[in-house]
């Protein structure tokens, strides 16, 4: 199958890049993509678009204030925590990485915390040791860390409200450095309406890493590599999902993170009604057109960056030409794009 990164490009007026969430959260628009049909709806319509017995899979990861500023001597270093590796060590993306080397001590500004550079990798990343006291690190992050907003959300200075705005209603397990943004639209009222509709909910975890911000620079997208992220499909969530699959009920993944975790757990399954085993561990699943989806029937997701791995994922799920038409429609209709923007509801196109 021939693939080119250029095939996933599109023109987006800068005015459509949302800089703040709409209020209330569930007032966002929702573009429904079913086959070749496009329907302009709202997030508040979601309960009526689902049927009793549908299962909605959500990600309960919690975003941490993962952007830190540090010094090595007089050199200023910016740290973006990416993935916890245990015992106080983190894989991190480093701005100004040429100024650090293994053995260096980095002083975290705004706190008494330090980090030792354990190992330096190609591409501007490193393994850092913050010490084995997780409470000390959590307190330092709360004091000195900034919410890791993506670069297209422009801030002259950090805004306090982003600590709440960039966190979903499901957030319970700290560890992500990017929000599962489809879930930013949910409110208690929407959840109550979904429950009254008879929609079940299954909760998974995927701690979204900083690699989600990295663009695809290669001409052939298959040459791009995703960073590993930690995730879990617990037994209780697997049981809810598997009961629905056995009865032919639909699975809606709320966000690309939930979908990637669920499809990771389902790798190797050939029967769409076969049970998906619980899963706990790392994933670097990279979904491109031609991928065989084994678990998800529907996907709720925001609108993604041109040439991004997430745009490639939605093209794989709903069809490349359908998504090109959907994005052209969304631009023409003034939908709000990216993390704080509007949403889409996609039906899988086999």
Range of the domain at 125: 67-145
Taking Cα atoms as reference points, which of 84, 191, 77 lies closest to residue 127? Answer: 84
172 with 307, same domain: the answer is yes
Contact 239, 204 (CB under 8 A): no
Among 113, 145, 177, the domain-final residue is 145
Q: Is residue 160 situated within a structural domain?
A: no
> Alpha carbon 279 to chain centroid distance?
18
Kindly calculate the radius of gyration of the chain based on its CA atoms and give it in whole angstroms. Answer: 20
231 with 266, same domain: the answer is yes
**Can you list the pairs that 30-34 forms with residues at least 24 positions away whose Cβ atoms lie under 8 Å?**
30/300, 30/342, 30/343, 30/344, 30/345, 31/326, 31/329, 31/330, 31/335, 31/342, 31/343, 31/344, 31/345, 32/344, 32/345, 33/318, 33/322, 33/323, 33/326, 33/344, 33/345, 33/346, 33/347, 34/347
Q: Is residue 35 situated within a structural domain?
A: yes
Q: Which segments in the chain show pLDDT lower than 50?
A: none
CATH code where residue 300 lies: 3.40.1780.10
Query: How far apart, in whole angstroms, are the C-alpha atoms of residue 42 and residue 66?
Result: 32
260 with 341, same domain: the answer is yes
Q: Is residue 101 situated within a structural domain?
A: yes
CATH code where residue 91 lies: 2.40.10.240
Whole-number pLDDT of residue 90: 94
Q: Is residue 156 situated within a structural domain?
A: no
196 with 241, same domain: the answer is yes
57 with 74, same domain: the answer is no
216 with 292, same domain: the answer is yes
53 with 83, same domain: the answer is no
Q: Is residue 150 situated within a structural domain?
A: no
213 with 251, same domain: the answer is yes
Q: Is residue 155 situated within a structural domain?
A: no
221 with 92, same domain: the answer is no
Number of domains comprising the chain: 2
Whole-number pLDDT of residue 134: 81
Contact 94, 127 (CB under 8 A): no
23 with 88, same domain: the answer is no
Instruction: Indicate the pTM of the whole model.
Output: 0.94
Contact 260, 285 (CB under 8 A): yes
Q: Is residue 159 situated within a structural domain?
A: no
78 with 180, same domain: the answer is no
Q: Is residue 297 situated within a structural domain?
A: yes
Whole-number pLDDT of residue 7: 94
Whole-number pLDDT of residue 213: 66
183 with 105, same domain: the answer is no
């Amino acid at each position: 199958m021939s693939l080119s990164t250029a095939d996933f490009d599109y023109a987006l007026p800068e005015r459509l890049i949302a800089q703040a969430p709409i209020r209330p959260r569930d007032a966002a628009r929702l573009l429904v993509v079913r086959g070749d049909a496009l329907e302009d709806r709202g997030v508040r319509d979601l309960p009526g678009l689902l049927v009793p017995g549908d299962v909605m899979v959500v990600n309960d990861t919690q975003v941490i204030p993962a952007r830190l500023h540090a010094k090595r001597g007089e050199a200023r270093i910016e740290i973006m925590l990416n993935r916890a590796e245990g015992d106080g060590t983190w894989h991190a993306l480093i701005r100004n990485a040429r100024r650090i080397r293994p053995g260096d001590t980095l002083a975290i500004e705004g706190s008494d915390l330090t980090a030792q550079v354990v190992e330096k990798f190609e591409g501007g990343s490193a393994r850092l040791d913050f010490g084995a006291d997780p409470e000390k690190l959590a307190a330092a992050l709360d004091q000195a860390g900034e919410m890791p907003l993506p670069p297209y959300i422009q801030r002259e200075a950090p805004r306090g409200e982003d600590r709440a705005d960039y966190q979903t209603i499901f957030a319970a397990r700290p560890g992500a450095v990017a929000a599962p943004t489809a879930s930013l639209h949910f409110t208690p009222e929407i959840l109550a309406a979904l429950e009254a509709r008879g929609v079940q909910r299954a909760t998974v975890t995927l701690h979204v890493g900083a690699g989600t911000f990295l663009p695809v620079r290669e001409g052939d997208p298959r040459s791009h590599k995703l960073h590993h992220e930690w995730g879990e499909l617990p037994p209780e969530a697997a049981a809810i999902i598997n009961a629905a699959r056995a009865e032919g009920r639909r699975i809606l993944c709320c966000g690309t993170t939930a979908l990637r975790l669920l499809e990771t757990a389902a790798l190797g399954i050939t029967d769409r009604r076969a049970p998906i085993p619980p899963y706990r561990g790392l994933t670097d699943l990279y979904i491109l057109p031609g991928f065989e989806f084994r678990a998800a029937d529907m996907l709720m997701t925001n609108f993604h960056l041109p040439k991004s791995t997430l745009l490639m994922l939605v093209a794989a799920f709903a069809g490349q030409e359908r998504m090109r038409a959907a994005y052209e429609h969304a631009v023409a209709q003034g939908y709000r794009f990216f993390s704080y923007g509007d949403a889409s509801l996609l039906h899988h196109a086999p």
